[in-house]
Amino acid sequence: MQQQFAHAMLPKANHDERARQAFVQSLKVHLATKVVQGNRETYEQRVRPALERENGQAPADRRAIAAAMADEPFYRLWGSLQRCSQEMCWNAVLDSIERQTDDLATRPAMTEGTLGSLELDPDLAMPRYLSALDIHCMPGGYGGQAFDGDVTAGALYDRGGYIYAMGGWEPDNGVMGRTVAGFIKQRFGDLAPARILDLGCGVGHGTLPYVDAFPDAELHAIDVAQPMLRYAFGRANAMGKAVHFRQANAEATPYPDGHFDLVVSHILLHETSAKAIRRIMAECFRLLRPGGLMVHVDLSLYSGMDPFDAFMLDWDTRHNNEPFWSVFRMLDPTDLITAAGFAAEDVTSGHISRTAVADHVFSDNRDSGGRKNWEILGARKQATPTA
C-alpha cells in the first residue's frame, strides 16, 4: 500500500498506532471497493423492480431512491460500517497526536529557517457553518485548540485525510492542486500569474503544488482556522515551499481590489453555506485584476449524474456531518458565477477525471458520468468590462 510522504511535521506513529491506521485504511478500501457494490445489487434486484411495479416507472431522482432504500438491511449495514470507519480513521490518528501535542507545536519547521510568513487574527470568528458541528466528523473541527499554538487539528487533518482518501490524494495529499495547476496551464496557457491566492487552504494540501507550477509567482493562502494555518506554515517550511499564510475569511478578505492574477480553492465550496458561496464568488471577482482567473475544484455536481449514484453520494449529507454537501451539488454553476459579476461566456464548468495526474481529462459534458470525477468551476475576469 502506498505510504504518505513523511515530512518533518507529520505526526510520528509507533508500531501499534501504525497498525491501527493501516487497518482503518484497509477497511475503508474494502468498504469502498467491495462492500459498497451490494447497495447497487440490492437496488437493481429488489428495490427498483418493486418501485416500478408500484409506480409504473423507475424512480425519477435520488430522493425517491433514498426513501425506498432507507430500511434495506444491507444499506443500513453498509452505512453503519461507513460511519464507524470514519470515526475510527480520526481516532486512530488522534491517539498518536495526543502523545506528541507539545512536540508538534514546537518542531523546528515552525520556528527555524522559515520560508514565507504566517499572520493570525485572534479576533476573527469562525463562521457558524464551520463551528456548529465537526465537519466530516473530525473531532474538534478545524478550529478546535487546547492552547495557544496548538496544531492538533492540522496534524489530524493531514494524516487522517490521507487515510480518509485511502491514499487517493497521492503521498503528499497534493493531487487537487496539481490537477488544477495542470488544467490552468493547458486551458489558459497565456496566464503568467504574479500573485496567487488559495482560499480555504486548510493545511496547504492544494496550495503547495502552485509553488512548483508557477515558480515566479508570490503565493498567498488563507483560512479561518488558526491550528490549520499554524500546521500549514510548518508543513510548507518542512517541504521547502514559501507561502504567505494568513487567517482570513474567504467571504471578505483583507486584500485590495484587483490584487491577484489567480484565485483558487480546493474542496472549499461544499463546506460553506449557500449564502457564503455567493459571497465567496463575489469576493473572487473583486480580488481579480482584469484578465485574472478563478478556478475552484470540488465535488462533482448532481446534474447529469445517475440518480442512484447521487443517492449514494448523499449519504455524507445525512450521516457524515456534511450539511452543505447536497446544497453545493445542486447548484447551477453558470448562475452562481455570473451573479458574482463574471460574463456568462467566460464561465468554465465541467468534470475533471480523478485518474493519474498526467491523464486528467476535462469535459463540460456532465452526462458522461460524474461520481468518480471532480468539478471544475471557474471564470476569467474580462480585461474590458462588458457594457
Q: What is the pLDDT of residue 361?
A: 73
User: What sign results for the dihedral spanned by CA atoms 324, 325, 326, 329?
Assistant: positive
Beta strands in the chain (DSSP E): 117-119, 195-199, 218-223, 244-247, 260-266, 288-299, 347-353, 362-363, 373-380
pLDDT-derived band at 356, boundaries 50, 70, 90 = very low
Residue 59's contacts (CB-CB under 8 Å, 6 or more residues apart) are 48, 51, 65, 68, 307
Phi, psi of 255 (to 5 degrees): -85, 155
Which residue type, as a one-letter code, is found at position 112? Answer: E
Q: Is 140 left (phi over 0), alpha (psi -120 to 50) or beta?
A: left
Phi, psi of 263 (to 5 degrees): -125, 130
Q: What is the pLDDT of residue 366?
A: 58
Cα separation, 13 vs 158, whole angstroms: 13
> Domains in the chain, start-ordered, CATH in brackets?
1-387 (3.40.50.150)
Cα separation, 295 vs 318, whole angstroms: 28
Closest CA to 95 of 28, 17, 155, 23: 17
- Report the pLDDT averaged over residues 311-322: 95
Contact 278, 336 (CB under 8 A): yes
Q: What is the pTM of this model?
A: 0.95
Helix axes 48-55, 62-69, angle to 10 degrees: 110
Q: Percent of the chain having pLDDT more than 90?
A: 90
Q: Percent of the chain having pLDDT more than 70?
A: 95
- Report the pLDDT averaged over residues 353-372: 61
pLDDT-derived band at 96, boundaries 50, 70, 90 = very high
Q: What is the pLDDT of residue 334?
A: 97
The string of pLDDT tens digits covering residues 211-237 is 999 999 999 999 999 999 999 999 999
Q: How many CB atoms lie within 10 A of CB 189?
A: 8
Q: What is the pLDDT of residue 114?
A: 86
